[in-house]
Amino acid sequence: MTTPVIGLCAAFESARWGFWEQPAAILPGTYLDKVRSAGGLPVGLIPGTGIEPLLDRVDGLLLMGGVDLEPETYGAAKSVKTEATVPERDAFELVLARAALARDLPVLGICRGMQILNVAAGGTLHQHLPDAGFAEHRRSPGRLDDATFHEVDVVPHSRAAELAGSGLQVVNSHHHQGIDAVGTGAVVTAWSVPDRLPEAIEFPGRQYALGVQWHPEVEHLPHALTGFVAVAATRDKEDQPA
């Protein structure tokens, strides 16, 4: 069995290194380390064109965290509570996500990546959770350690349960947006406790299509990405939906 290639959609942000500060495609080391430790070979996918050739070269797609989605991507007017957006990245990841679902390419969405999966399937988002009656989910911005831990209720025998365990589990997150209407073909398989905000969605019938609102890539949680990478490793590239 060859090492599966996992494509990670890079963030496109201003970055500083050495004497330089300029726009850059960024892939945090935590994601790269978790993919490698699960047996995958991570490669960066840079926002731009040429979607189909990219997907032809990878065995799985990982949509990572980041800034807010542009509300027009799910047919909403922008709220004053919506924060920074990167429309170029939104457009790139939405096309990638739709193409991955259409060809049954294994896909894992983390935090913003789960929201991308939901919007790609026609779902919508709450632009600011406290305004929608949910609890505060961003108590410690910029951190994913103990201060961000909270409980979720995970459906047994789901892909989310394979990643985190079933029933009440502890995860980490900080976000102010979340799923409103669930996308076509998706089902919710984890909810936050106690406010019941969707924390995981997946697409039954697909080889692997899971989105989680928390961050399994950080070392503070023992959640391995081995299930995702294993499915990518055994995927039959010739057996794709028309």
Walk along the chain (242 residues) and give the pLDDT tens digit of each residue.
589 999 999 998 888 989 999 988 899 999 999 999 999 999 999 987 778 888 999 999 999 999 999 999 999 999 999 999 999 999 999 999 999 999 999 999 999 999 999 999 999 999 999 999 999 898 787 788 888 999 999 999 999 999 999 999 999 999 999 999 999 999 999 999 999 999 999 999 899 999 999 999 998 899 999 999 999 999 765 544 43
Cβ–Cβ under 8 Å, residues 42 and 35: yes
Residue 6's DSSP bridge partners are 42, 60
Domain-located, residue 91? yes
Q: Which of 9, 70, 217, 223 is catalytic?
A: 217
- Is 163 part of a structural domain of the chain? no
What CATH number is given to the structural domain containing 62? Answer: 3.40.50.880
Distance separating alpha carbons of residues 29 and 97, to the nearest angstrom: 22
Domain residues for 86? 5-10+25-128+176-190+198-234
Among 45, 24, 59, which residue's Cα sits nearest to residue 96?
45
In a domain, 137, yes or no: no
Within-domain flag for 42: yes
Reply yes or no on whether 70 is catalytic.
Answer: no
Is 63 among the domain residues? yes
How many structural domains compose the chain? 1
Distance of CA 143 to the CA centre of its chain: 17
- Whether omega for the bond prior to residue 194 falls within 30 degrees of 0, making it cis, is yes
The answer to whether 215 is a known catalytic residue is yes
Six token digits for residue 135: 């609890």
Evaluate whether residue 227 is within a structural domain.
yes
The catalytically annotated residue of 150, 175, 215, 223 is 215
Catalytic residue flag (residue 9): no
Separation between Cα atoms, residue 78 and residue 87, nearest integer Å = 13
Catalytic residue among 70, 111, 137, 162: 111
Please say whether the beta carbons of 153 and 193 come within 8 A.
yes
